Structure 1
Amino acid sequence: MIEKTLKIPLKMALNGIKIDYAQVYALKIPLTEPFNVANFNQVEYRAVVVELHSKDYVGYGEGATSPDVTGETILSEFENTKFILSALAGKNYESIEDLVTRMNGILYSNTTAKTAIDMAVHDIYCKDLGIHITKLVGGAIKPMLTSYTISIESLKDSLREVLEFQKLGVKLIKVKVGTDINSDIEKVKLISENLKGEKFFVDANQGYSISDAVKMGKVLEETNALFFEQPLGRENLTALKELRKKISVPIMLDESIGSPNSVINAILTEAADLINIKLVKAGGIRNAFKALSVAQAYGIDTMVGCMVESKLGVSAALAVASSLSNVKYSDLDGNITIKRQPFEKGFTFEKGANTAMAGYGMAVDKEMKNWK
């Protein structure tokens, strides 16, 4: 349902596109089942949606909130989005880079609010040009394998989800861990024993001590897991470097990563084998592309992930994921448990892969009936 909405006059221009006003929404929709990870439980989709209105087009953007990841609640994001848009109003911007640079200088951090605006800017820009977002970022419309996630739940429910994913044709499974190490080990072994050719990895969401991370790492070596995502706290780069010396399974960083500078810091600290980039942590499409490019320059492979977000946000992330050769994995299943989809189309899922649908911008349709 719509928690809040506000119309903001803009009277600004982007490379000749006259953007008259923005409509901003704070939106909540229940999930079909709880999303449980090591340090929080989520029962609803929470996002700020930005609409940029010109005479001919509407550009859509979404910033899905997760306070433990970006420090923003839906209400703080709404207010910060209003603040940024008001500061952007009344000016002419030569390019998306010009606008995003200005936006980044208006308010420190608050990357979820910036993502909603950045995404809407890209969407209306592509619609004006008559192109799909993948073309703007240099990507391609092609099937991209995605992981589907098993959150923290009972062994029975975990096994049930494995069987459901197998029926759907899922090829890559993410297993959430990070609570009790003994239960987690039992869960990982059970899942690995019931795979039928699928690959898997685990994500501890910062939940482990280094001793428990070593224990899990040894199990992951035995069960041929692809990698171990964010086993330790986001600030513990030195400990992550030491952990890499103790286990052979590759370490992927997620919560430790946001801006391009954070990618450089993690790599120079030798804390990561792989990097997970999410638009809401980077501050949108533009900055996510830069973060991925930095990783590529250092020879580091990446994954593009998402939060619990709609087909709008996932479509944007899918386009970015298709744009660089060092993106080896995608974790883009954030829309599947939203009870009523706020946006439809965008992409299809078949045989374990997401494929962008043809159209302009993100190629999504707003489903206003599902916002109530």
Structure 2
Amino acid sequence: MPSVQRVTLRPFRLPLRGALRWGRASEIRAMEHLLLEVTLSDGSLGRAEIPPRPTIYGETPDTIRAAIAYLEPRLVGVEIEDTEALQQALAALPNHPTARGGLDIALWEARAMARGVRLEDLLPPAKARVRVSYILGIADLEEMLRDAQRAYAAGVRVFKVKVGRDLEQDLERLRRLREAFPDVALYADANETLTPENAARYLEAWAAAGLLYVEEPLPIERVTARRALRQRGILPLIADDSCFTPRDLERELELDTFDVLNLKPARTGFTTSLAMLARARAAKKRVMVGSQASSSFGAYHAAFVAFQAGVDEPSELAFHLKAEGAFLEFPPFREGWLYWADLARTRFDPEAFARYAL
């Protein structure tokens, strides 16, 4: 039985066509991520993208290298089919979500290769297509409209709009988006920027502007305020930062603070993402798959979760459109949808990756 032989990290950089800004002051101008590779004793290979997010998870490229250095000796020698032992090894290092999530995804890929099958054989789709969304960061009107036009031309019909710094500016941006793209659905991500005192006023204005829902309007620690805001029923609430882990999810389900769970495989891998999806479905919560501002390769892996039963809201599978370059040619979107038949033909391109490797 093949076992884990080594784990390697290969940093890469993909410039963005424009900065992504969110929250009170966060910003990225390039994807400075790491490609993780797991090699098995029979030569089988699994890959995953790791996106360091210092302002969200406290992870930097250096902390990810340290986390992998800590976990690798616990994984080496473990049989690829011993999923319980592999998960126990990953659990030896709490936190470090994207390092552990990347390892889990790469282990799934390596397991598929060792069996002589494709990843989709381990994660078969439950449907033929999924609706996709694109993230619009905080920007001036003209920059935002150019970004939206590029995504719209690529087939996206749902925009997730970063909001929360200025209500009037937010409303003007939303008005201009609605005017320019009348057939597009909109929802908001406030990234915890509101307060219990002003949240209802903001949500009422966004509801009047026709938004579908809003993600994390209040700081995570304001638990009772978040529950009270949901009980008012102004807009459905999306849980993201409040549900990093299964333990977080249990707390939020008990408090009943949200309507839609945003699952991000970049931080929870396949194994934990599937477990959280099942738990959310059992609790009758809606689910979407989110992006960690990943390349097309990260979006490719996230799509495997988006195609599972129970993911019924638009999934953030289009951020790679903001990147200048790719090492996986992502399939086209067709009138707002990603089709499984197109995704199944997608492959990692080692030669293209070499152009962006550091």
With 91-100 and 236-245 compared, the bigger mean Cα shift is at 91-100
What is the CA–CA distance in structure 2 between the aligned matches of 1:349 and 1:140, rounded to whole Å?
19
Q: Specify the SS of the correspondent of 2:67.
A: helix
Q: Does the residue aligned with 2:242 lie in a helix, a strand or coil?
A: coil
Deviation at 1:90, TM superposition (A): 2.9
Q: State the partner residue of 2:133.
A: 147
Matched residue, 2:69? 82
Amino acid at match of 1:58: L
Report the alpha carbon displacement of residue 80 of structure 1 after superposing the two structures with TM. 0.6
Q: State the Cα deviation string for residues 25-81 of structure 1 (Å, max 9, x = none).
A: 233332221111113001121223211223443211221111222221121111111
**Deviation at residue 336 of structure 1 after TM alignment:** 2.1
Residue type at the aligned position of 2:349: D
**1:134 and 1:320 in contact (8 A); partners too:** no
Match of 1:245 among 207, 231, 238: 231
AA aligned to 2:336 is: G
Cα distance change, pair 234–281 in 1 and its aligned pair in 2 (3 A)? farther
TM-score scaled to structure 1, two decimals?
Answer: 0.87
User: Residue 59 of structure 2 is aligned with which of 43, 64, 72?
Assistant: 72
- Kept after mapping to 2: 8 A contact 1:201/1:226: yes
Give unpaired runs (5+ residues) of structure 1: 1-15
Indicate whether 1:264 and 2:259 are aligned: no
* Structure 1 residue 188: Cα displacement: 2.0
Matches within 5 A, 1:229-240: 229-240=215-226
Q: Does 1:289 align with 2:274?
A: yes
Distance (Å, rounded) in 2 between the aligned partners of 1:22 and 1:254 = 29
Per residue, is there more helix in 1 or in 2? 2
- The answer on whether the counterparts of 2:2 and 2:80 sit within 8 Å (CA) in structure 1 is no
**Partner Cα separation in structure 1 for residue 228 and residue 139 of structure 2:** 30
Which moves more between the two structures, 248-257 or 161-170? 161-170
Q: In the aligned structure 1, how far is the partner of 2:80 from the partner of 2:110?
A: 14
Q: How far is the alpha carbon of 1:248 from its aligned partner?
A: 2.0
- Give the total of aligned pairs: 352
Is 1:257–1:281's contact at 8 Å kept on the other side of the alignment?
no
Q: How does 1:6-85 map to 2 (within 5 A)?
A: 16-39=1-24, 40-54=26-40, 55-85=42-72
* Per-residue Cα deviation, 1:145-193 (whole angstroms, up to 9, x for no partner): 1101211001222233333333333211111112122222222233233
State how far apart, in whole Å, the 1-side matches of 2:15 and 2:148 are. Answer: 23
1:120 to 1:141, Cα distance in 2 relative to 1, 3 A: farther
SS of residue matched to 2:160: strand
Q: CA 1:141/1:271 → structure 2, altered by over 3 Å: closer, same or farther?
A: closer
Q: Secondary structure, in 3 states, of the residue corresponding to 2:138?
A: coil
- Report 1:329-344 matches (<5 A): 329-341=314-326, 343-344=327-328
| Equivalent residue number for residue 227 of structure 1 | 213
Shift of 1:326: 4.0
CA contact (8 A) 1:134 1:141 kept: no
Does residue 99 in structure 1 map to residue 83 in structure 2? Answer: no
Question: Which amino acid in structure 2 is aligned with residue 101 of structure 1?
Answer: Q
Look up the match of 2:184.
198
| The 10-residue stretch of structure 1 (332-341 or 271-280) with the greater mean CA deviation from structure 2 | 332-341
TM superposition shift of 1:325 = 2.2
Equivalent residue of 1:354, what SS?
strand
Q: Is residue 132–residue 358 contact of structure 1 (8 Å, CA) maintained in 2?
A: no
- Distance in 1 (CA, whole Å) between partners of 2:142 and 2:323 is 23
| AA of the residue aligned to 1:334 | F
1:353 is aligned, of 323, 337, 341, to 337
How many Å apart are 1:247 and its aligned residue? 4.5
TM-aligned CA deviation for residue 122 of structure 1: 0.8
User: Given the alignment, which residue of 295, 299, 303 partners 1:318?
Assistant: 303
Q: 1:235 to 1:280 in 2, by over 3 A?
A: farther
Which of 124, 129, 153 is residue 167 of structure 1 equivalent to?
A: 153
Post-superposition offset of 1:212:
3.1
CA contact (8 A) 1:25 1:78 kept: no
**Equivalent residues of 1:305, 1:330 under 8 A apart:** yes
TM-score by length of 2: 0.91
Q: Aligned partners of 2:153 and 2:11: how far apart in 1?
A: 35
Q: Is the 8 A contact 1:315 1:347 kept in 2?
A: no
1:272-302 per-position Cα deviation (integer Å, ceiling 9, x unaligned): 01110112332x1100111111100100001
Structure that is richer in strand per residue: 1
**Unmatched 5+ stretches in structure 2:** none
Q: Structure 1 residues 346 and 169, CA, compared in 2 at 3 Å: closer, same or farther? A: closer
Q: Which amino acid aligns with 1:237?
A: V
CA shift, 1:144, in A, is: 1.6
- 1:139 CA displacement: 2.2
Distance (Å, rounded) in 2 between the aligned partners of 1:186 and 1:209: 21
The aligned residue for residue 12 of structure 1 is none
Question: For residues 82 and 330 of structure 2, what CA distance do their matches in structure 1 show?
Answer: 25
| Comparing 53-62 and 63-72, the one that deviates more | 53-62
Contact 1:277 1:288 in 2 (8 A): yes
Q: Provide the C-alpha distance between the structure 1 equivalents of 2:118 and 2:80, rounded to a whole number of angstroms.
A: 21
Residues 76/290 of structure 1: CA separation in 2 closer, same or farther (3 Å cut): same
CA contact (8 A) 2:6 2:72 kept: no
